[in-house]
Amino acid sequence: MGKYLIKRILQMIPVMIIITMIIFVLLNVAGDPTVNLLPLDATEAEREELRTAMGLNRPLPIQYLDFLGNAVKGDFGNSYRFNEPALDLALARMPMSVQLAGAALLFAVAMAIPLGILSAQFANSPFDLVISGISVLGRAMPSFWVGIMLILLFAVNFRMFPVSGSGTASHLVLPALTLSIQNAAQIIPLIRSNMLSIMHEDYIRTARSKGLREWSIICIHAFKNALVPVVTIIALEIPGLIGGALITETVFAWPGLGQFLIQAIGNRDMSVVQVCIFLIALITLVANLIADIVYCLIDPRIRYE
Amino acid sequence: MKQKGKSYRMPRWLRMLWRSKTGLLGFVIVSIAVACALFAPWLAPYDPNAINPLNMLKPPAFMAGGDPAFLLGTDNLGHDILSRLIYGARVSMIIGVLSVILAGVIGTAFGLLAGYYGGILDSVIMRVTDAFHSIPRMLLAMVAVTLMRAGIGTLVLVIGITGWITYARLIRSEVLVLKEREFVKAAVTIGTPDYKIICYHILPNVFSSFIVVSTLAVATSIIAETSLSFLGLGIQPPDISWGGMLSAGRNYLATNWWVATMPGITLTMTVLGIMFLGNWLRDFMDPHNQGLE
């Protein structure tokens, strides 16, 4: 385990370096940064001057090393719109995103676990068919469409929750529900199929022959083991919830990292874009690592070399 | 000699499709979407961009106050929604299919290199896929689209390039298994050049998983395109995208719900159809199911 962990962490270093390369290439090669900083009628001489001042005339590899050196120190430059360090601005938005992601995860698990167990228990019944139909639909619907439908239903028609914004707990419900529907749609079939295969295991037969009640077998013996792959999936979904909430945050005007990032893209505030991509990628890598570790810890059958 | 008693039998794929309810549904939906994309000018009842101030925000024909001339109603500019949906299928299908081809070609090439040659090349390619994997695809696509000129070509490029890792990982893992099979080892032993082994022995054997993954990838690409268009970063007017229609309809949710809802339903149905067809294809192409009739 220790060796594996060290190997995994060491493997993250080249991946991080490649991520910085992707970000660098995306922002410096795909577009000319001076286009966005100068007024449209700027002369070529002015443009050239700015390029020299920003160090954009140096060879690309040198610019990249410079960027990498600063990134390691946590310096991604200032946001040109807010004139503050981009990293601080992005970190300030994180709590809102974490709040949304946490609520979404809670909703998803609270929906998926009972529904998954019930549809395994009543496999091929009309209930099971309806639930699998809904989870297929949940995977087919893009998040912005789910969000709009929830607004139409619960905010416009029933007036139960606010259309958008933040501040109170009721503001959190619709965006969290939007995010959780897609997650639940992925977790439900997983729990269902795990439960179905586990119910044929020997230890379940033993529990039955001891005369335990069916529901205590399901809840105590089977469910614990069905949860193992689910925990991994949940850990893998966390980055998606934080970084992938881009569109959901925009639909509901939720002031998290995603909305901030989309605004920065709109304003071409590239140092903010860089730092946001970097943060999201880092969260993803760490979450993947945690998923591996947790997987190994909760299932004694799995041992990494 | 006359052949007798031999009635016409449907080909195997059609018989299997007929038996699978979801597969058949998927096939029908995808056929309709493709037909709309191909024959939009003939199928659409109106010019999708014709502004008609007299018929603004008309409800669908099945509702009170609906006009049978506008089956699915009209939007805030008096555009016929049905016509726009038919033309929107064209954009979605073009971008969906072309970007998947691009992603498939790039990803397969890298997956073959990584799986077949192994070693340092494999490590480097896999670390690059790890890096791409940790950046949300939509995020990468959004930044890239902003930096380039918006349009169908850019969207194909961006969605294609951000989609290659699925293929690279899939093809690599398949090649790793195939490399250990006897027929490949035999080919290596008799000195067959690498490119021949790849073209004649490996590629045909990864084809079926390639097709299955590609079908599902079209659905993902269509969602990516509509999401970008919804945010205003994708297709720009006068080109029509379902995502753009949805975005425009958002402002009329409270009073004229159909403007946003119709493109949403169309999009969901299309994605669902592609997913059903993809799942059916997976079963159909699975060699374990070959004997099933």
A32-37 own/partner pairs: CB under 8 Å, 24+ apart: A33/A270, A36/A268, A36/A270, A37/A80
Residue B12 φ/ψ, nearest 5 degrees = -60, -45
Judge if A110 and A169 occupy the same domain: yes
Nearest to A265 among B130, B135, B146 (CB): B146
More confident residue, B293 or A54: A54
pLDDT at residue number B29: 93
Nearest to B230 among A16, A26, A144 (CB): A144
Percent of chain A with pLDDT over 90: 3
pLDDT at residue number B1: 46
pLDDT at residue number B109: 92
Task: Give the tens place of pLDDT for each residue, A210-269.
Answer: 888 888 888 778 887 777 777 777 777 777 777 668 888 888 888 888 888 888 888 877
Q: What does the pLDDT average to over A120-134? A: 88
| Among A199-203, A290-294, B252-256, B260-264, the range of highest mean pLDDT | B260-264
pLDDT band of residue A25 (cuts 50, 70, 90) is confident
Judge if A39 and A127 occupy the same domain: no
Q: What does the pLDDT average to over A78-102? A: 84
pLDDT exceeds 80 at position A193 = yes
Taking residue A243's Cβ as centre, other Cβ atoms within 10 Å add up to 25
Distance CA A107, CA A176 (A): 7
CA distances from B276 to A243, B118, B216, B285 (A): 28, 35, 9, 14
Domain range B28-49+85-289, CATH class: mainly alpha
Nearest to A30 among B147, B226, B230 (CB): B147
pLDDT at residue number B106: 94
Kindly list the residues from chain A whose CB atom is less than 8 angstroms away from the CB atom of residue B268.
137, 140-142, 145
Task: Give the tens place of pLDDT for each residue, B137-187.
Answer: 888 888 888 877 778 888 999 899 888 988 999 999 999 988 888 888 899
A148, A267, A289, best to mutate vs chain B, most B CBs in 10 Å: A148
Judge if A68 and A116 occupy the same domain: no
B30, B127, B134, best to mutate vs chain A, most A CBs in 10 Å: B134
pLDDT at residue number B290: 59
Structural domain contains residue A60: yes
Judge if A102 and A228 occupy the same domain: yes
Domain of residue A66: give its range: 20-73
Structural domain contains residue A86: no
Q: DSSP secondary structure string, chain A?
A: -HHHHHHHHHHHHHHHHHHHHHHHIIIIISS-HHHHHS-TT--HHHHHHHHHHHTTTS-HHHHHHHHHHHHHTT---B-TTT-SBHHHHHHHHHHHHHHHHHHHHHHHHHHHHHHHHHHHHTTTSHHHHHHHHHHHHHHHS-HHHHHHHHIIIIIIIS--S-SS--SSHHHHHHHHHHHHHHHHHHHHHHHHHHHHHHTTSHHHHHHHHTT--HHHIIIIIIHHHHHHHHHHHHHHHHHHHHHTTHHHHHHTT--SHHHHHHHHHHHT-HHHHHHHHHHHHHHHHHHHHHHHHHHHHH-TT----
Decide: helix, strand or coil at residue B34.
helix
Kindly list the residues from chain A whose CB atom is less than 8 angstroms away from the CB atom of residue B219.
140
Judge if A111 and A241 occupy the same domain: yes
Q: Do residues B215 and B279 touch, judged by C-beta distance below 8 A?
A: no
pLDDT at residue number B97: 93
pLDDT at residue number B293: 45
Structural domain contains residue A3: no
Distance CA B267, CA B242 (A): 7
Judge if A30 and A147 occupy the same domain: no
pLDDT band of residue B7 (cuts 50, 70, 90) is low
Q: Do residues A18 and B131 touch, judged by C-beta distance below 8 A?
A: yes
Judge if A35 and A111 occupy the same domain: no
pLDDT exceeds 80 at position B9 = no
Do the chains contact at B226 and A250, CB–CB below 8 Å?
A: no
Residue A78 φ/ψ, nearest 5 degrees = -90, 150
A9, A12, A15, best to mutate vs chain B, most B CBs in 10 Å: A15
Q: Which residue of A has its CA nearest to B261?
A: A149
Helix (H) or strand (E) holding B77: none
Q: DSSP secondary structure string, B182-213?
A: HHHHHHHHTT--HHHIIIIIIHHHHHHHHHHH
pLDDT at residue number B93: 92
Distance CA A104, CA A258 (A): 15
pLDDT band of residue B254 (cuts 50, 70, 90) is confident
Structural domain contains residue A235: yes
Q: Does B131 touch chain A (CB under 8 A)?
A: yes
Distance CA B273, CA A133 (A): 13
pLDDT at residue number B101: 94
Task: Give the tens place of pLDDT for each residue, B218-243.
Answer: 998 999 899 889 888 888 878 888 98
Q: Is the peptide bond before B238 cis (omega within 30 degrees of 0)?
A: yes
Q: Which residues contact B192 (CB under 8 A, 6 or more apart)?
A: none
- Any idea what the CATH number is for the domain that residue A155 is in? 1.10.3720.10
Judge if A146 and A210 occupy the same domain: yes
Say how many domains are in chain A.
Answer: 2
Give residue limits of the domains in chain B: 28-49+85-289
Q: What does the pLDDT average to over B63-77? A: 76
Q: How far is B266 from chain A (nearest CA, A)?
A: 11
Kindly report whether the global pTM for this prediction surpasses the value 0.80. Answer: yes
| Among A27-31, B10-14, B100-104, the range of highest mean pLDDT | B100-104
pLDDT at residue number B99: 94
pLDDT exceeds 60 at position A153 = yes
pLDDT band of residue B288 (cuts 50, 70, 90) is low
pLDDT exceeds 50 at position B215 = yes
Residue A82 φ/ψ, nearest 5 degrees = -100, -10
pLDDT at residue number B110: 93
Judge if A217 and A148 occupy the same domain: yes
pLDDT at residue number B150: 74
pLDDT exceeds 70 at position B197 = yes
Distance CA A16, CA B86 (A): 44
Judge if A40 and A180 occupy the same domain: no
pLDDT exceeds 60 at position A30 = no
Judge if A48 and A99 occupy the same domain: no
Do the chains contact at A288 and B134, CB–CB below 8 Å?
A: yes
Percent of chain B with pLDDT over 70: 95
Prediction ipTM score: 0.83
pLDDT at residue number A269: 79
Structural domain contains residue A239: yes
For tokens 């991520």, the residue is A19
pLDDT at residue number B102: 95
Judge if A68 and A118 occupy the same domain: no
